[in-house]
């Protein structure tokens, strides 16, 4: 097993994630016959995605897609997918996070569908398309991301005379002002329970955590940009200017409802989290771009946990039809509109002007005081780094970073210490899996 992983990891280490390009579209309906349609199995956890599947089936009589709902994450759907690939009975298409695609590739679980997919590259945002491209070969079609923005209580900020922060220095200054105005209110919380959130903050800060040098992975988690980010939040923690309640917990929801937490750095899908858990605050919220670091130059952002793809799994007997479904699901305007309303994240397609709910939403916009918040997230998604790499050990990365950050919040070391410990642990983890690694 170790030698197999090592060979696969070596192949992955030689990868340059670059958008594929080319001409040609796959044949309509993947060559299926309406009298005897090609049958595909699709595993996903997106709520209400059955509506999009039904729409595809109605428009493609030569293909019939059967949806099976799975639990998200490494201990749920991912484990089931990998086991199914090994057993030879995997679904044709499955929802897999961008952060987990390298792990699936290393485990030999992805099907090369370059000949069917490459002609569609131009439909999708470059950085999202690249997440499913390894060594110039296409294995997955991007579905959605979670570009970051700053949700804030505009009514309270106006009351306190605080402007939404444009820089991280502004953020720290605003945090202090808010505490001076109301000792029971905080600008935000430090979510030590959310490794993807912390990673997004590091990604937006600048230097990437994982890279490729020759046939080796280079691990640079403990870098100056990330330490700068960690030091800023450590000072906010030391000065008690942010709360430490876990986000998306009962206590956090209560704080949103009462205004004890007046802001949140969150992904685009966080809109539904706030609306669903603080309905009494309707009309009082707004969204601003994520604060910027000095000297960053152009506007930079990040995506919470990357996002999700429709991956074509190894062993599918119908790669053309599977690819056609994955492309349609994530690029057809009617399908994207269905998925957007289900809260699946920011669309992966470039042309979002065809999506009705992004232009006018009588539920979302009034909650945010009439603001079209999607303008903020469209800019944010376009500003995600093209260079960010996810390692084939994202599960271990999440667990390790969360444990180390929680320890720091509890007073056992600092956030900078947590970053250094995570660096060392990831080097050891990757070496243990047979990967060539430098760093640490």
Question: What's the pLDDT band for 342 if we cut at 50, 70, 90?
Answer: confident
For residue 332, CA distances in Å to 138, 336, 347 come to: 19, 6, 11
Assign 32 a pLDDT band (cuts: 50, 70, 90): low
| CATH 2.40.70.10 for the 147-302+388-438 domain, yes or no | no
pLDDT band at 422 (very low <50, low <70, confident <90, very high): very high
If pLDDT is split at 50, 70 and 90, which confidence band does 17 have?
very low
- What pLDDT is attached to residue 121? 97
- Is 70 exceeded by the pLDDT of residue 13? no
At residue 335, what are phi and psi to the nearest 5 degrees?
-65, -45
Average pLDDT of the segment spanning 346-369: 92
pLDDT at 6: 45
Residue-range domain boundaries for the chain: 2-145+305-371, 147-302+388-438
pLDDT computed for residue 242 by the predictor: 98
pLDDT digits (tens, 9 = 90+) for 316-337: 999 999 999 999 999 999 999 9
pLDDT interval class at 427 (50, 70, 90): very high
pLDDT band at 411 (very low <50, low <70, confident <90, very high): very high
Looking at every residue in the chain, the average pLDDT score rounds to 90
Q: What is the pLDDT of residue 198?
A: 97
- pLDDT exceeds 50 at position 366: yes
> Model confidence at 5, in pLDDT bands (50, 70, 90)?
very low
Residue 305's pLDDT is what?
84
Q: Which of 298-307, 308-317, 384-393 has the highest mean pLDDT?
A: 308-317
CATH code 3.40.190.10 for 2-145+305-371 = yes
Domains 2-145+305-371 and 147-302+388-438 share a fold: yes
pLDDT band at 343; cut points 50, 70, 90: confident
Percent of the chain beyond pLDDT 90? Answer: 79
The pLDDT tens digits of the residues spanning 176-229 come to 999 999 999 999 999 999 999 999 999 999 999 999 888 899 999 999 999 999
Residue 31: per-residue pLDDT:
53
Q: Among positive and negative, which fits the CA dihedral 157, 160, 163, 169?
A: negative
- Structure confidence at residue 26 as a pLDDT band (50, 70, 90): very low
């Amino acid at each position: 097993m170790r030698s197999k992983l090592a060979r696969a990891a070596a192949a992955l280490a030689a990868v340059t994630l670059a958008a594929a390009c080319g001409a040609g579209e796959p044949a309509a309906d993947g060559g299926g016959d309406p009298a005897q349609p090609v049958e595909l199995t699709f595993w996903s956890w997106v709520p209400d995605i059955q509506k999009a599947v039904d729409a595809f089936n109605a428009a493609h009589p030569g293909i019939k897609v059967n949806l099976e709902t799975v639990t998200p994450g490494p201990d749920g759907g991912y484990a089931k997918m990998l086991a199914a690939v090994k057993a030879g009975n995997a679904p044709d298409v499955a929802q897999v996070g961008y952060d987990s695609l390298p792990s699936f590739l290393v485990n030999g679980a992805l099907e090369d569908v370059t000949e069917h997919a490459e002609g569609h590259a131009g439909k999708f945002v470059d950085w999202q398309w690249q997440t499913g491209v390894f060594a110039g070969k296409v294995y997955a079609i991007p579905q959605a991301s979670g570009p970051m923005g700053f949700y804030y209580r505009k009514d309270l900020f106006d009351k306190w005379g605080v402007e939404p922060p444009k820089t991280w220095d502004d953020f720290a200054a605003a945090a202090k002002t808010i505490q001076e105005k109301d000792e029971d209110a905080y600008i935000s919380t430090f979510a030590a329970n959310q490794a993807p959130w912390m990673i997004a903050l590091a990604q937006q800060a600048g230097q990437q955590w994982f890279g490729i040098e020759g046939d080796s992975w280079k691990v640079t988690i403990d870098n100056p940009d990330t330490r700068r980010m960690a030091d800023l939040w450590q000072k906010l923690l030391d000065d008690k200017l942010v709360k430490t309640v876990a986000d998306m917990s009962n206590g956090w929801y209560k704080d949103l409802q009462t205004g004890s937490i007046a802001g949140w750095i969150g992904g685009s899908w966080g809109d539904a989290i706030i609306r669903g858990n603080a309905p009494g605050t309707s009309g009082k919220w707004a969204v601003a771009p994520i604060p910027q670091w000095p000297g960053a130059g152009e506007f930079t952002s990040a995506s919470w946990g990357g996002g999700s793809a429709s991956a074509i799994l190894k062993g599918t007997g119908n790669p053309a039809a599977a690819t056609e479904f994955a492309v349609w699901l994530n690029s057809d305007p009617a399908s994207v509109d269905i998925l957007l309303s289900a809260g699946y994240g920011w669309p992966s397609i470039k042309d979002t002007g065809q999506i009705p709910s992004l232009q006018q939403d009588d539920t979302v916009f009034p909650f945010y005081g009439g603001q079209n918040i999607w303008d903020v997230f469209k800019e944010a998604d376009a500003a995600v780094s093209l260079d960010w790499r996810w390692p084939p050990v994202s599960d271990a990365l999440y667990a390790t970073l969360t444990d180390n950050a929680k320890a720091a919040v509890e007073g056992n070391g600092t956030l900078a210490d947590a970053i250094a410990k995570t660096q060392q642990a990831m080097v050891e983890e990757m070496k243990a899996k047979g990967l060539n690694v430098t760093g640490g």
